[in-house]
Amino acid sequence: MRPVIWLGSVVGALAVLIMPQAVGMASSRFLANGLLPPMPIPSTNPQTDAKVELGKMLYFDKRLSRDNTISCASCHRPDASWADTTPVSEGVEHKKGGRNSPSILNAGYFVPQFWDGRALHLEKQAVGPVANPVEMDLPLDELIVRLKGIPGYVAAFKAAFGTEPTEEGVAKAIAAFERTIISSNSPYDKYLQGDKSAMTPAAVRGMELFNGKAHCTSCHSGPIFSDQRFHNLGIGYKDGKYADVGRYEVTKNPRDMGAFRTPSLRHVAMTPPYLHDGSEPTLEAVVELYDRGGIPNPHLDPLMLPLHLTSREKSDLVEFMKALTGDPVIVVEPELPR
């Protein structure tokens, strides 16, 4: 077994986070930046050791893909802060066509899920890639037949849910495991807790810019540094067309054309490349994009304005984002059921 990444609790959590019942309530949870609160656990899927252990096995098992070559961990890699290192991940048979794989660190705090918000909660997100033809390409009914043929999984589902393998059980188990992948103890967190030496002078200056001149908190707000809303930066817009229409595909609302969910910035220095299409290779390149005010297009978010940052200010912003990297989350890859 090779070492991967794990953490079971949040250090220094300050407040209980209430799971919103509707997408529109998501951003109201985060009114100011601060330490991560306890992970919200839905009453319909309480955490248990058996469920988390089952979810961990499913997460690392390539048998959840049609040709047994891709697992959740293939695109959300523990050795890459639970993201991927390529602009767009490859699915079965090296298929491409999806979006950049974001980190699952702190994914349990997000409502809704995915770049376009097509799944409300983590349980819906957990099984989406399994059936997606350009990702794992295994219809869920076929997955359940496959799992029922593996005695170890039959026993694990019985222990976790008291049932044989089911689609609902797969979703709940993977979601339960992913809710344990939580970042903590970043230099920024330590700074907020009173250790004023935890961040470099450049990072402190960057924090002031982040909250001020660069107006980053207009979108990257709260303890996970995301308002959980959808914004159009103009990414992929060329010759009057959008390479990806984003949130519009879900809502069919013209105001959502080319808009994508604000990603978390925790561990962001560890998860290049950036944006939904992986088109920006470095944080420096992302800052340059924002400094230009994004890419002009008919639906550009009004919050996207030229920033007129100096070279040092751009560098300081990057240093602050590096200070959002917490302790690595270490897990031991499980022995898979037979």
Owning domain of residue 315: 187-322
- Pair 295, 154 in one domain: no
Asked whether residue 103 is assigned to any structural domain, the reply reads yes
Q: How far is CA 111 from the centre of its chain?
A: 11
pLDDT value at residue 33: 59
Bridge partners, residue 230, by sequence: 261
- What are the backbone angles phi and psi of residue 308, rounded to the nearest 5°? 55, 45
- Pair 163, 67 in one domain: yes
- Pair 139, 207 in one domain: no
pLDDT value at residue 197: 97
pLDDT value at residue 34: 65
- CA dist 91 → 36, 133, 217 (Å): 33, 8, 34
Helices marked H in the chain — which ranges?
49-60, 72-75, 122-131, 140-148, 151-161, 167-178, 187-192, 201-211, 248-251, 283-291, 311-322
- Pair 111, 218 in one domain: no
- Pair 155, 17 in one domain: yes
Residue 14 structure tokens: 């300050």
What three-state secondary structure class fits 65? coil
pLDDT in tens, 287-326: 999 999 999 999 999 999 999 999 999 999 999 999 999 9
Contact status, residue 271 vs residue 100, Cβ threshold 8 Å? no
- Pair 91, 231 in one domain: no
Q: Is 284 a catalytic residue?
A: no
Listing DSSP states for 232-259 in one string gives ---TTEETTEES--BTHHHH--GGGTTB
- Pair 224, 157 in one domain: no
- Pair 14, 90 in one domain: yes
Asked whether residue 338 is assigned to any structural domain, the reply reads no
pLDDT value at residue 151: 98
Asked whether residue 337 is assigned to any structural domain, the reply reads no
Q: The domain that contains 263 carries what CATH number?
A: 1.10.760.10
**Identified catalytic residue from 53, 93, 123, 135:** 135
- Pair 17, 102 in one domain: yes
The tens place of each residue's pLDDT in the chain, 338 residues long, gives: 333 333 333 323 323 232 332 222 233 333 335 689 899 999 999 999 999 999 999 999 999 999 999 999 999 999 999 999 999 999 999 998 789 999 999 999 999 999 999 999 999 999 999 999 999 999 999 999 999 999 999 999 999 999 999 999 999 999 999 999 998 899 999 999 999 999 999 999 999 999 999 999 999 999 999 999 999 999 999 999 999 999 999 999 999 999 999 999 999 999 999 999 999 999 999 999 999 999 999 999 999 999 999 999 999 999 999 999 999 998 999 999 99
Number of domains the chain contains? 2
- Pair 165, 192 in one domain: no
